[in-house]
Amino acid sequence: MDEIEIPDSIRCKFEEKGGIDGIIELLPDDQRIEYITLIARAISDPVRLKVLFALCLQPMCVCLLVAMTGYAYSKMSYHLSLLKDSGLICSRQEGNYLIYYPTDPGRKVVGLVEIAKFNE
């Protein structure tokens, strides 16, 4: 394999980390990458992101989420199932209602998104 020319400004740190093999060892494993991808897909839709933010403010039943977004129950159910499958929200049964609320990872994602504010 040909030697790769590395800019001097990063060579020292790169070599301290063990070069390419060292960097590869420091990367998250494939299972962790899949989980991160699942979360990224879950929050890539504006409706799901809005729902996640709303649930961090207040646990809600689907009827409130439908009223808040204007989405049909079937579409909201789809969005909620993606958020649940990603581990960002949970639900609990209260009588005839399912009450949705964020998990700890869901709250952390909202916290990270809030930190990443754009310069105005």
CA separation for the pair 75, 55 (Å, rounded):
17
Q: Note whether 90 and 60 are within 8 A (CB).
A: no
Domain definitions of the chain by residue range? 8-115
Tell me the pTM: 0.81
Q: Note whether 38 and 85 are within 8 A (CB).
A: yes
Does domain 8-115 sit in CATH 1.10.10.10? yes
> Which pLDDT tens digit goes with each residue over 71-107?
999 999 999 999 999 999 999 999 999 999 999 999 9
> Which pLDDT tens digit goes with each residue over 20-71?
899 999 999 999 999 999 999 999 999 999 999 999 999 999 999 999 999 9
